[in-house]
Every structure is written in structure tokens, then in C-alpha cells.
Amino acid sequence: MSKVIVITGGSGGLGKALTEDLTKDNKVIILATNQEELKKVAEQNNCDYFVCDVTNYYEVEEVIDDIIDKYGVIDVLINNAGLMAEEELDRNDPDEIKNVIEVNLLGVINVTKAVIPIMKENKNGLIINSNSKYGISSKIERTVYCASKWGVTGFTKSLQLELAKYEIKVTDIYLGALSKGMNMNGIKKDRLIDGIDAKEVVRLVKFIIDTPKDVMIPEVVIKHINDLIREMNITLFNESNNI
């Protein structure tokens, strides 16, 4: 059955890959701040778009109201907009820190808050948060990024309990490194290490969307197998040095 799906960060990377596939059988609306890129992706995939800064709640609320006025419902929200911050904390620019926290965490909260009322009204809805493996782990020179993603983890776990009685499902996807499309300090570039293809994440998202109304997937981790091997080797190395 066709669904109305809203995707934040829909103009590039994983958001674009999701849009390209989900528009085949659904009504997809993509949100982002770059109008030129949004329009291009929307025209290529015959979907709708709205320019929206997810860090501004009142702008988000207005856009979501416009979507509801036009489509009558929002069945699925995919919170995908996100930024990366690298380097040690004392070397991170304060404005960059603020931007990463606001986009990665506040943005998720803002869009979710705006969408919940229509889902409560219909006693139906699915919210998928595109999180990171660093929402349940840590890494040096990722302090700010990890903080934002751990925040999404706590938000998601609490939201699952809060919304279950309204028959609204919330899923957290902990992503390993993607093969390309990752935003490193605002610069999109291919990864130099093995990463999962965005198409595999799309397959996972489609599976979650297609599960029956009474079946919930609270969380799932997806990563390249070599990513796991590297983590194991790092753990073994650290353990051997602590003997």
C-alpha cells in the first residue's frame, strides 16, 4: 500500500538513495536547506519537496502543516539530516559544535514533535531515526558527533515508550560507515575505508516500513563486515596492551 513518507536530508547521500527507491511505490516529500539540490532530486524522482531548516522548529511546524494540508496524512517520517564533526574537542570551532548538535539532535526532535500530532490522530505512524554506530559506541576525534548521536539514542528509546500506546512505532538504525556520501565538516566525499552501500540501508528501511502494524523493530545495527573486524582487532589490541 502506498504511504506518505517524509525524508529529511533528502537532497543527497543516503536521503537521496532512499528517495530514489521509495518514490517508486509511495508519495515521498523531501526536506533540506539547499533548494537547488532539492529541486533537482525532486524532479528526477517525481516527488515533492520543501526547503526547511530542521533546527528551526517554527519553520518545521509550518512545513509539516503544509504537507498535512496537501496529503492529509504522514505515514512515515525518516529523520536523516545530519552532519559530521571531526578532530579533538578543543580544536572544534564553537559554531561547528553548535551546528552539529542542532542538526543531528535538535533537528530530529523538532521534526518528530511536529509530526506526532497527525500520527496520534490516526493512531498510526512510523518514525525511523537514521542514527550512527557512534550512538552506542565512541571514538577519538568524534566527541561532538558522538554526543549528538548518543542524544538521538536516548531520545529514541524514551520516545518508543511514550508513543507505543498511540500505536506509533519508532525505530533507531545504527549505521556503520557508508561507502560514500558522508558529510565530513560540510564536505561530501567518498570513504577511504570499506563501508556499506547506501542501497543496503535502503533495503533495510523498506523492510522496516513493510512490517505489519503490530510488529515493531526498536533498533537495528547495520555495518560492513570489515567494519566489525576492525573493531574486533582494536579491542584485542587494547586488551593486550592492558595486560
Q: How far is CA 20 from CA 47, 70, 94, in A?
A: 9, 21, 35
One-letter amino acid for residue 183 of the chain: N
Q: Which of 49, 145, 166, 174 is catalytic?
A: 145
Helix (H, G, I), strand (E, B) or coil at 215: coil
Beta bridge partners of 27: 4
Q: Provide the grid cell at 211.
A: 512490517
The greatest distance separating any two alpha carbons of the chain, rounded to the nearest whole angstrom, comes to: 63
Helices and strands, number each (H, E), in the chain = 8, 9
Is 145 among the catalytic positions?
yes
Helix (H, G, I), strand (E, B) or coil at 189: strand
Q: Return the active site residues.
A: 145
